[in-house]
Structure 1
Amino acid sequence: MSVRTFSAWLAALAALVAAAPAHAEKEITPYIEIQQVLDANLDDGGDVLTYTTLAAGIDAVVTKRRTQVQISYRYEHRFAWDDNSSDEDVHSGLARAAIQVVPDVLTLEGGALATRSRVDIRGAAPNPALSGGDNITQVYSFYAGPTLNTMVGDLGVNANYRFGYTKVEADSDFALPPGQVPLDVYDDATNHLASVSVSQRPGALPFGWSLGAGWEREDASQLDQRFDGRFIRGDITVPVSPTLALVGGVGYEDIEVSQRDALRDANGAPIRDNDGRFVTDPNSERKLAYDIDGLIYDAGVVWKPGRRTQLEARVGRRYGGTTVIGSLSHQLSRHAGVQVVVYDGVESFGRLLSDNIARLPTSFNVPGNPLAGGFNGCIFGESEGTGGCLNDVFQSISTANFRSRGINAIYAATQGRTSYGLGLGYAQRKYYAPRFATGFSVNGLKDESWFAQGYWAYELSERSGVNASAYLSQYDSGLPFAPDVTSAGATLAYFHNFSRRLTGTAALGLYSFDQQGFASDLTASALAAMRYQF
């Protein structure tokens, strides 16, 4: 990991904690942990890898009426015991914060993520928690910015700004089926997002209205890629009954995505650096990957039959075609809830990751199973039915921009000593890229993924408990002759608190993946760990 990335990650964590008021209630728990892990490949002739892990981490929660901060961060170094594997460093963590600098007017928000993820949708799909996994790399991302909400007379005024940064460590050394073209490897990107709106609720007029405008800019290091998008639109809300309203909006949008070409050798092939990334030709002409402007509009309904249920659905025209978006949140009871999101947008890997982190709640469940893979799938909130799934973000780490469409659903419940949850989703990407005179282009290609992920936890006593998790994913690349990839896994863990500071954990895991017609893998893992909390 680069010094710049590590410094940014630590700075983001420090800023979120330091910004909390001194009088806020704080629960900060640093810890150290030692693990002994065995990974056994159950295929014929498979390797058995053993390694020891030393880890240091912190779990912190800051709670006040106007302050919500939660951080869970962990660094570990894995010491290999044999020549078939090597030492490695792993960073895993999530941070979310919302701090009201001026009560009910100005809020400072932020979030950060460190995790491991697969790189190429065509490649292997091992559990990211495994040591030395093929097609696995380290990812870092954070965002921060202020949000203003205030009233000027009977007009609501809203403005926000957000800065984001995403970094992916280089990883191009993994096996692909014969005939498959290696793709570019994502590096890093910065993005800026700003918006402003003025609105009025129904009352003075028989309908509510809002006028808004926004701008977003992203600069990616790979091939000097640039995203520039801006919009202006007006919306109205027409109450039909106390629980139902019709909504609609119309506006203008302008989006442009461009990049430069790669340096090429004498045969016209793109030149790559030692990390597998294309080397940018600074003298090449900037070419458009995506360019669209014009009228946008949509219409739909908002239904709020009670405090526990809200549904919004819209259909319209955007990005040159029909668009459908919507959301549903429903609290089934005091202890169970469900959330569904249907999305459609033009995204990049960095912007999509930053957007998804921003949508996560400021209070979330920390994974209690060390073999479950960290913060790279569904993240469940402390309140049942809240959270979000990052599976669509991490289906692949693409350098190209794309139109992202899909649906995610989360269900969670608590019954006495038992808690459980389920996440489901489908995602589709359509890629945008220039067509240069020579070389392969992903322009117009589509890929898809489906996933299911669940967890279950049970408190055996005040000092001990068990938890389990399982996942199933299917990846379908749009590249010609690319294999479909299926992955699945299940884990079971037991923990016991020997004292207020000392906790022991034992865990088992079984994971598999299959690259259709190319490679498959079945791996079993066992772990024993001791943690000391300060």
Structure 2
Amino acid sequence: MKRLVVTGAALLAATAITPASAQRARITPYVEASQVVAADLNGGDVLTYSTLGAGIDAQVQSRRVEVQVSYRYEHRFDYQNKLNNDHTHSGLATVKAAVAPGLSIEAGGIATRTRSDVRGDVQTSNVGNFSNSAQVFSAYVGPNLATHLGPMFVNGAYRFGYTKVEAPGSTGLAAGQPRLDYYDDSKVHVATASVGVKSGTVLPVGITVSGSYTREDAGQLDQRFEGKWGRGDVVLPIMRGLALAGGVGYEQIKISQRDALLNGAGQPVLDGAGRFRTDPNSPRRIAYDLDGVFWDAGVIWKPSRRTFFEARVGRRYGSMSYTGSLSYQPTPGSGIQIGVYDTVQTFGQQLNGGLSNLPTSIASSTDPFGNQFQGCIYGTTSAATGGCMNAVLASATTSAYRARGVTGVAVMGRGGTRFGIGGGWAKRDFIAPTGGTGFTTNGTSDTTIYGQLFASTDVGANGSLQGSVLGSYYNSDIPGNDGIYGWGANAAYTHRFGRLGATLSTGIFGFERDGESSASAQALLGLRYGF
């Protein structure tokens, strides 16, 4: 059931629409077969195997419903008994359905892979054997309300999210390093509400009052996250397109968990999947307990409908905090979005939140090497350029953390040609109990720097050419870590013969850290039949 979470909500919404009511509907299930060759460029073996896959591509656009689904399951057959991973899931689904004026239901899901240990190897391609890589599934669903009550606007939303990470295989770490727990699953509830008036309607200034409640329960060590806040904001116009903004609020955040069960040698007891078992007699230990006032102030600049900029500085989580956003829409098919964020959260919350911010129309990509949903995901319109998942997928950490960073995506499209570029910087300061048993990540941090380039163009009436380049850097101050670079590039040509399509793809991927490097050249020939 967990593996079907990516497509379920989207397909239900799609089948609920009659063809007459849909402005555009395309639902294409398919099967495919491929032959893969991966050559270790560091003097290792050449790995050859076959794959059989099945999936669905669906897009529905109507007055009331927007659906996009891309899901693929692949099973691998190795002739040399050298593969340690025999199947993968890869997919993304986004759904938005208007059920009444001002009221909509939104849902989404993703199936991809994440790094397991923040200190371990970088897996820049899903070809061959995976190291320090685990399958992850995440989905959310909930209603959104946006209406007016006289001169006041009223907004509200609720989101339920679920995230599951399978246990990894090897991580590539040297022996003797402190053992970290493996992420299992989490359930999160998020409710938000706001009410206010825009400047010039009732008062010369705009006023907004808002609040939020978050509750997350994670499967590992009985972890619990509970956060709530309320705030008031004022916007003061000072000239056309320019305004000053400021707000003050009060919040409470409490994060807790229990200890791991230890054996006679003082080492954590593991379950069958390699995760820590919870000590049933352990007291609930507090990892984070925040209770206080926060504030921020800044500027809002909107010189036209195509440009928006906001920057704020304030104090939150016990230190200075910086947030902001920039969007620019030069043409209907091109746009830029940049965001600066600062928040306390968890892996499950951040993955669910990033998923919910993705657009309902995603640029299609033929990436047989499986990187399509692990990094930057590009939209097709200037108003929804997409987002990058690199920061959260840096590793599936069980600890909560303070997440700070900047991320940006730009897309450009004209005719049958599209370009996308994304990148960013992210830092996570980990939050975990102290004074318990075993090694704690409390007070440690990691840094991620990433960049990605994507391009596609039509070649004649039935062909398409696509390519991508990616690079990343991960570093952590957890003992046993060395900064590690990951890189890769691939190109794919697809030719369609009616319902049958043939793809030829080549790529080179690798990583490098102090005293160690790995590189692999890869090639794939595949056939896909769409029904």
Give the equivalent residue in structure 2 for 1:441: 440
Give the equivalent residue in structure 2 for 1:336: 334
Give the equivalent residue in structure 1 for 2:460: 461
Asked whether the 8 Å contact 1:409–1:423 carries over to 2, the reply is yes
Give the equivalent residue in structure 2 for 1:305: 303
Give the equivalent residue in structure 1 for 2:156: 159
Q: Residues 335 and 11 (structure 1 numbering): CA distance in 2 closer, same or farther, change over 3 Å?
A: closer
Paired residues for 1:267-286 under 5 Å: 267-286=265-284
Report how far residue 166 of structure 1 moved: 0.2
Asked whether the 8 Å contact 1:80–1:87 carries over to 2, the reply is no
Distance 1:401 1:185 in 2: 13
What do the CA deviations read for 1:210-258 (whole angstroms, capped 9, x no partner)?
A: 1111100000000000000001111111111220111111110000000
Report how far residue 481 of structure 1 moved: 4.1
Give the equivalent residue in structure 1 for 2:475: 476
Asked whether the 8 Å contact 1:244–1:304 carries over to 2, the reply is yes
Distance 1:161 1:61 in 2: 25
Give the equivalent residue in structure 2 for 1:176: 173
User: Unpaired segments of 5 or more residues in structure 1?
Assistant: none
Asked whether the 8 Å contact 1:79–1:86 carries over to 2, the reply is no
Report how far residue 377 of structure 1 moved: 0.3
Report how far residue 483 of structure 1 moved: 1.1
Give the equivalent residue in structure 2 for 1:400: 399
Q: Residues 419 and 9 (structure 1 numbering): CA distance in 2 closer, same or farther, change over 3 Å?
A: closer
Give the equivalent residue in structure 1 for 2:350: 352
Give the equivalent residue in structure 2 for 1:514: 512
Q: TM-score, normalised by structure 1?
A: 0.96
Q: Residues 7 and 386 (structure 1 numbering): CA distance in 2 closer, same or farther, change over 3 Å?
A: closer
Report how far residue 272 of structure 1 moved: 1.1
Give the equivalent residue in structure 1 for 2:98: 100
Match of 1:191 among 185, 188, 193: 188
Report the more deviating stretch, 431-440 or 444-453: 431-440
**2:60 is equivalent to residue 59 of structure 1:** no
Secondary structure class of the residue paired with 2:367: coil
Secondary structure class of the residue paired with 2:239: coil
What do the CA deviations read for 1:55-99 (whole angstroms, capped 9, x no partner)?
A: 111111110123211111111111112122246111110011111
Give the equivalent residue in structure 2 for 1:6: 3
Report how far residue 417 of structure 1 moved: 4.0
Report how far residue 466 of structure 1 moved: 1.2
Distance 2:496 2:81 in 1: 35
**Identity percentage of aligned residues:** 44
Report how far residue 429 of structure 1 moved: 0.5
**2:523 is equivalent to residue 526 of structure 1:** yes
Give the equivalent residue in structure 1 for 2:411: 412
Report how far residue 374 of structure 1 moved: 2.6
Q: Residues 508 and 458 (structure 1 numbering): CA distance in 2 closer, same or farther, change over 3 Å?
A: same
Distance 1:21 1:210 in 2: 40
Report how far residue 335 of structure 1 moved: 4.4
Aligned partner of 2:188: which letter? N
Match of 1:295 among 293, 296, 305: 293
Distance 1:19 1:163 in 2: 22
Q: Residues 188 and 341 (structure 1 numbering): CA distance in 2 closer, same or farther, change over 3 Å?
A: same
Distance 2:424 2:79 in 1: 39
Q: Residues 166 and 80 (structure 1 numbering): CA distance in 2 closer, same or farther, change over 3 Å?
A: same
Aligned partner of 1:189: which letter? S
Secondary structure class of the residue paired with 2:298: strand
What do the CA deviations read for 1:152-176 (whole angstroms, capped 9, x no partner)?
A: 1111111111000000001153330
Asked whether the 8 Å contact 1:257–1:291 carries over to 2, the reply is yes
Asked whether the 8 Å contact 2:332–2:381 carries over to 1, the reply is no
Secondary structure class of the residue paired with 1:322: strand
What do the CA deviations read for 1:387-439 (whole angstroms, capped 9, x no partner)?
A: 00000011111000000000111112124443211111100000000013431
Asked whether the 8 Å contact 2:500–2:530 carries over to 1, the reply is yes
Secondary structure class of the residue paired with 1:6: helix
Report how far residue 37 of structure 1 moved: 0.6
Asked whether the 8 Å contact 1:20–1:99 carries over to 2, the reply is no
**2:246 is equivalent to residue 248 of structure 1:** yes
Secondary structure class of the residue paired with 2:162: strand
Aligned partner of 2:161: which letter? G
Match of 2:220 among 222, 235, 241: 222
Asked whether the 8 Å contact 2:9–2:95 carries over to 1, the reply is no
Secondary structure class of the residue paired with 1:240: strand
Give the equivalent residue in structure 2 for 1:84: 82
Q: Residues 427 and 20 (structure 1 numbering): CA distance in 2 closer, same or farther, change over 3 Å?
A: farther
Match of 2:126 among 126, 129, 134: 129
Report how far residue 362 of structure 1 moved: 0.7
Distance 1:220 1:21 in 2: 40
Asked whether the 8 Å contact 2:456–2:467 carries over to 1, the reply is yes
**2:47 is equivalent to residue 36 of structure 1:** no
RMSD, matched Cα? 1.6
Aligned partner of 1:531: which letter? R
Distance 2:4 2:357 in 1: 24
What do the CA deviations read for 1:269-312 (whole angstroms, capped 9, x no partner)?
A: 21111211000112210011111110011111111111110001
Secondary structure class of the residue paired with 2:439: coil
Distance 1:406 1:110 in 2: 26
Aligned partner of 2:379: which letter? G
Distance 2:172 2:504 in 1: 33
Distance 1:317 1:36 in 2: 55
Aligned partner of 1:511: which letter? F
Give the equivalent residue in structure 2 for 1:211: 209
Report how far residue 366 of structure 1 moved: 2.4
Secondary structure class of the residue paired with 2:421: strand
Distance 1:389 1:186 in 2: 21
Report how far residue 128 of structure 1 moved: 3.8
Secondary structure class of the residue paired with 1:332: strand
Asked whether the 8 Å contact 2:114–2:393 carries over to 1, the reply is yes
Asked whether the 8 Å contact 1:365–1:382 carries over to 2, the reply is yes
Secondary structure class of the residue paired with 1:352: helix
Give aligned pairs, total: 527
Report the more deviating stretch, 283-292 or 453-462: 453-462
Secondary structure class of the residue paired with 2:381: coil
User: Unpaired segments of 5 or more residues in structure 2?
Assistant: none
Report how far residue 342 of structure 1 moved: 0.5
Q: TM-score, normalised by structure 2?
A: 0.96
Aligned partner of 2:206: which letter? G
Report the more deviating stretch, 250-259 or 51-60: 51-60
Distance 2:97 2:7 in 1: 19
Q: Residues 465 and 372 (structure 1 numbering): CA distance in 2 closer, same or farther, change over 3 Å?
A: same
